[in-house]
Amino acid sequence: MSVAVIIVAAGSGSRLGADLPKALVEIGGRTLLEHSLRTALEVSGLVQVVVVAPATHLEAVIELIDGIRTSSAVHVVAGGADRTASVAAGLAALDDGLGDELDDADAQGDLAEPQVVLVHDAARCFTPLDVYERVVDAVRDGWVAVVPGLPVVDTVKVVDERGVVRSTPPREQLRAVQTPQGFVRDELEAAHASGVSATDDAALLEALGHHVLVVEGDPLSFKVTTPADLDRAHRHTASLST
């Protein structure tokens, strides 16, 4: 089963307080997007990457990608108003530019339109390749939707609009989920056709009654969201170079 990765990088990064979109902030001499893209390009069975970029910075992102050597098709499209809309824009661009490869595939029988789609947050720029591979393997094993996750360390409360606690889910049943989230392409497209928004894609499939498998995530897959996360990311790259 061939794989496409959609990297969503169109967020403004307002919580980071940077004067650039978050994906274009540099850590260790590379943008967050570039860190994510370089790992995504290593995924086995990859035929295409779609980068969903801020509409205001399309040229900068295209230039950045031109500097990366790869045999996979990499496309850049503009994102939407929220994360769900950005993923939908990425889905709409699947297969773009695969024409040549598909002609070859007809001859060779080994490349095809992607059947597995991974959706990854550019902001999780240090996600190790083995997390991607765990997710892809589980989809290949027959799961429609697969997310990486870790047990939570805090007790989590459900509150109402006044902040009053309504319930306390048992902690051992909770997982903090990450990306890349992997899906059978047709089912992900059907879930997005519902027009509903959610903070992750798995929620859209859950709403349709699909079972979503959680595989082991990785602490390095933290999302760069706040200035404290950015400090952590800088410390991580510094530790690699010492």
**Residue 101 or residue 200: which is nearer to ligand C5P going by CB?**
200
Nearest Cα to Cα of residue 131 among 235, 222, 203, 206: 222
Query: Alpha carbon 71 to chain centroid distance?
Result: 20
Query: Alpha carbon 49 to chain centroid distance?
Result: 11
The DSSP symbol for 68 reads S
Contact range with ligand C5P by CB under 6 A, out of 3-11, 95-103, 163-171, 189-197: 3-11
Total residues interacting with ligand C5P, rule: CB under 6 A: 19
Supply the minimum distance, in Å, between the C-beta of residue 190 and ligand C5P.
21
Residues 15-74 that bind ligand C5P (CB under 6 A): 22-23, 52
For the beta carbon of residue 173, count every other beta carbon within 10 angstroms: 8
Supply the minimum distance, in Å, between the C-beta of residue 124 and ligand C5P.
7
150 vs 152: CA distance, rounded Å: 6
4 counts as binding ligand C5P under rule CB under 6 A: no
Phi, psi of 121 (to 5 degrees): -80, 125
What is the identity of the amino acid at 188?
Answer: L
147 counts as binding ligand C5P under rule CB under 6 A: no
List, in sequence order, every residue forming a beta bridge with 50; answer none if it has no partner. Answer: 6, 75
Nearest Cα to Cα of residue 201 among 79, 127, 118, 93: 118
237 counts as binding ligand C5P under rule CB under 6 A: no
202 counts as binding ligand C5P under rule CB under 6 A: no
User: Between 168 and 197, how does the x/- string for binding to ligand C5P read (CB under 6 A)?
Assistant: ------------------------------
Supply the minimum distance, in Å, between the C-beta of residue 54 and ligand C5P.
8
Instruction: Retrieve residue 179's tokens.
Output: 């990306």
11 counts as binding ligand C5P under rule CB under 6 A: yes
Q: Tell which one of 225, 229, 236, 237 touches ligand C5P (CB under 6 A).
A: 225
Question: Mapping DSSP to helix (H, G, I), strand (E, B) and coil, where does residue 141 land?
Answer: coil
- Binding residues for ligand C5P (CB under 6 A): 8-11, 22-23, 52, 79-83, 86, 121-123, 199, 223, 225
